Amino acid sequence: MKKTFLLLSGIILFLSGFTQEKPPEIVNDTASVIVNDSVSVNVLLNDWCMEGHTMEILFVWAGEGGTVTFIDSTITFFPFYYFEGIDSITYIIKDLDNGLMSEYGYLTVVVDNPGQENLNVNNINALINSYALQFWSQHSGEHGIFEVPKGNGTHTVFNFDLWMGGFDENGELKLAAERYRQTGIDFWTGPVSNNYSNEDLILWNNLWKLNKTDIEYHKYHWMEPDYEPIENIRNWPAFGDINNGQLNFMAPFNDNDGDENYSAENGDYPVIRGDQSLFFVYNDDKEEHTESQGRKIGAEIHGQAYAFDCPDDSVFNNSIFFHYDIINRSDTVYHDFYLGAYVDFDLGNPWDDFVGCDTLLQSFFAYNGDEYDENSALWDPDTTFGYHNYPPAQGVVFLNTGMSSFLSYIGYLGPTGHPDEAGEYYNNLTGLWIDSTAITYGGNGYSGDTTLSFNYMYPGNPSNLEEWSEVSAESIPDDKNAIGATGPYVFNPGDTIKLDLAFVFARDYQGDYLSSVTLLKERIETLRYFFDNDSTPCGASWSSVPQKELQRQLVAIYPNPCKEFLEITFEKEMINEFDYFITDIYGRIIKNGFFKSKTNRINTSDMKSGIYILKIESNETVFNFKFMKY
């Protein structure tokens, strides 16, 4: 009996092996996609379920690089605008006949993002984006990519963004500004257009990176039968689509054959600044602004990030530059229009920094709050490196215009915290706190030691305790955000405002942590000399753009130093009416007025001896001069 039972049990088990229900099985898939596009994959094509059964996707989990949707057999992936690299999407499938589920499976997607490149020709390695926000993307991790020295793993800047805003004829504020794109977007790649298609977004989500050596080679080999121009020379975005309301002329180029078209095959070539340049175009017009909550300006920005390959010159080897053409593509006249360079400094360890400015050098900067810059304790100490002994200083310079205000805040709440809506951003652009309170001299600039209003925070020398700086104010080092601005402008339809900025790094290995600030200022003064004279220590001109006209060629001031008067002469009949302001080194207005003639004279006999800034502005442009009264 016992043997019979065992035999029957064996037969049952044997037969059940043929009828046992089995779960579906996943074979992993791969795909590729470009940013601003999407990819759909039928992942069930190579998955398995029992014969005669039906299966479908049950759950899908997105990775870090984008969002996903799914239906039945297909997963669709939409990469984030900032992502580049490999993303992994996890999913489970279900057999609809037996109810069993699979193990986890994976769809691997390779994401190409041509809108991110590195500017790396000298001692700085900086991540450049095709949209406004620079040096950082949400994929770059806990620090921005402004690595200096290159390859050392230490960084000085988390991110940088160009802010802008002003009022229309009805007094309505129009503004575009971003800090981190965590709450929304104010800028989009590409030019202002009648219609914004996905194809255009893909086309303009690009950085046309070129080295000067590439262009020089092209200039002397384009006529050879077997020569093929490299892609960024061949596809240089010289023109827009005028049928879609875009500007005709976009990226500057040399028209070798004079036919007013761009053709690399006929010897035409891009005109770039520096020895390495990345050209990009973006706008604030495509959609409503969801970070600043500001109304659209209708601004189109043509930008070049560039650097010089001057390894034997410590100033140019440790500096990078931005040139912007900000174009009013709207039908609106804007007044009290300001531009601002917003910078989140992260000098190695981001939590122990000070900031300051120099009104004579039209610059602001960050430096360490003590002698030693340790690795970050709040972030992973293995990935966020401090500079340790002899910490550096990092500066931002307005090269072609004056800095009208400088303000710094820590990213907290309250009147001295970060802006959240358009009016608060504009206040920061005009040198006010977000509650419209003016900067006051001393302390933290909000509850200052005096009631004197100032346009600039911490303009003093940190090494001089008699001057207002974060050192003399006994500030607590922290993670610092700063905004240096220029304006106001009258921004007419079709006008272009040109802005040139420099990011300058300095590290003094001989002194203390404040001596790096002294070295930084020396380097800034050297840069300003070369910029004003359109030259470089490497022999080439600075601008490389034939149509550039230097300030010194347009306006002359005499004498400098002056005693009884200062004479201003326009060398061309370009301005027939302008306003002028004379400010001291702290930004206080000493004199102001207006002139209408080509040659004008300002009485300076009643002014105290010292150094002053003369600002001349019209509806078209702004000039700034430093002069001395004795």
Q: Indicate the pLDDT class of residue 382, thresholds 50, 70 and 90.
A: low
Does the pLDDT at position 259 exceed 60?
yes
Residue 237 lies in a domain: no
Which letter does DSSP use for residue 122 in this model?
Answer: S
SS3 493: coil
**Do both 491 and 414 map to the same domain?**
yes
**Do both 496 and 621 map to the same domain?**
no
Please give the average per-residue pLDDT across 220-237, as a whole number: 95
Residue 101 lies in a domain: yes
**Do both 521 and 593 map to the same domain?**
no
Residue 223 lies in a domain: no
Please give the average per-residue pLDDT across 239-267, as a whole number: 91
Structure tokens belonging to residue 529: 């000399």
Does the pLDDT at position 554 exceed 90?
no
Report the C-alpha gap between 254 and 262 in whole angstroms: 8
State the pLDDT at residue 612: 87
Q: Of 497, 344, 475, give the one whose Cα is nearest residue 411.
A: 344
Peptide bond into 415 cis (omega under 30): no
Q: Which residue has the higher pLDDT, 240 or 379?
A: 240
What CATH code is carried by the domain that includes residue 439? 2.70.98
Residue 588 lies in a domain: yes
Q: Which of 67, 86, 112 is the last residue of a domain?
A: 112
**Do both 50 and 130 map to the same domain?**
no
**Do both 448 and 587 map to the same domain?**
no
What CATH code is carried by the domain that includes residue 107? 2.60.40.10
- Tally Cβ neighbours within 10 Å of residue 331: 8
Q: Exposed, middle or buried: residue 240 (CB in 10 Å: 0-12, 13-18, 19+)?
A: buried
Q: Indicate the pLDDT class of residue 384, thresholds 50, 70 and 90.
A: low
Does the pLDDT at position 380 exceed 80?
no
What CATH code is carried by the domain that includes residue 567? 2.60.40.3080
**Do both 91 and 126 map to the same domain?**
no
Report the C-alpha gap between 438 and 432 in whole angstroms: 5
State the pLDDT at residue 3: 47
**Do both 479 and 519 map to the same domain?**
yes
Q: Indicate the pLDDT class of residue 142, thresholds 50, 70 and 90.
A: low
Q: What is the CA radius of gyration of the chain?
A: 29
State the pLDDT at residue 52: 93
Mean pLDDT of the chain: 89
**Do both 561 and 583 map to the same domain?**
yes
Residue 209 lies in a domain: no
Q: Does residue 99 come out as left (phi exceeding 0), alpha (psi in the -120 to 50 range) or beta?
A: left
State the pLDDT at residue 552: 46
Residue 235 lies in a domain: no
Q: Indicate the pLDDT class of residue 547, thresholds 50, 70 and 90.
A: very low
Does the pLDDT at position 2 exceed 50?
no
SS3 574: coil
pLDDT tens for residues 414-473? Answer: 899 999 999 999 999 999 999 999 999 999 999 766 778 899 999 999 999 999 999 999
Does the pLDDT at position 14 exceed 50?
no
Q: Which of 533, 565, 581 is the last residue of a domain?
A: 533
State the pLDDT at residue 139: 61
Q: Which of 97, 112, 127 is the last residue of a domain?
A: 112
State the pLDDT at residue 17: 46
**Do both 483 and 560 map to the same domain?**
no
Q: What residues have CB less than 8 Å from 246, skipping those under 6 apart?
A: 191, 192, 193, 240
**Do both 391 and 280 map to the same domain?**
yes
**Do both 67 and 132 map to the same domain?**
no
Q: Indicate the pLDDT class of residue 9, thresholds 50, 70 and 90.
A: very low
Q: Indicate the pLDDT class of residue 599, thresholds 50, 70 and 90.
A: confident
Does the pLDDT at position 585 exceed 80?
no
pLDDT tens for residues 308-354? Answer: 999 999 999 999 999 999 999 999 999 999 999 999 999 999 999 99
pTM assigned to the model:
0.81
State the pLDDT at residue 99: 94
Asked whether 608 and 629 are in contact (CB, 8 A), the reply is yes
pLDDT tens for residues 166-182? Answer: 999 999 999 999 998 88
SS3 43: helix
Residue 318 lies in a domain: yes
Q: Which residue has the higher pLDDT, 384 or 65?
A: 65
Residue 7 lies in a domain: no
**Do both 38 and 152 map to the same domain?**
no
Report the C-alpha gap between 361 and 161 in whole angstroms: 21
Residue type, 301: I
Range of the domain at 515: 116-176+275-533
In the chain, % of residues over pLDDT 90? 70
Q: Which residue has the higher pLDDT, 139 or 184?
A: 184
- Tally Cβ neighbours within 10 Å of residue 536: 20
Domain tally, the chain: 3
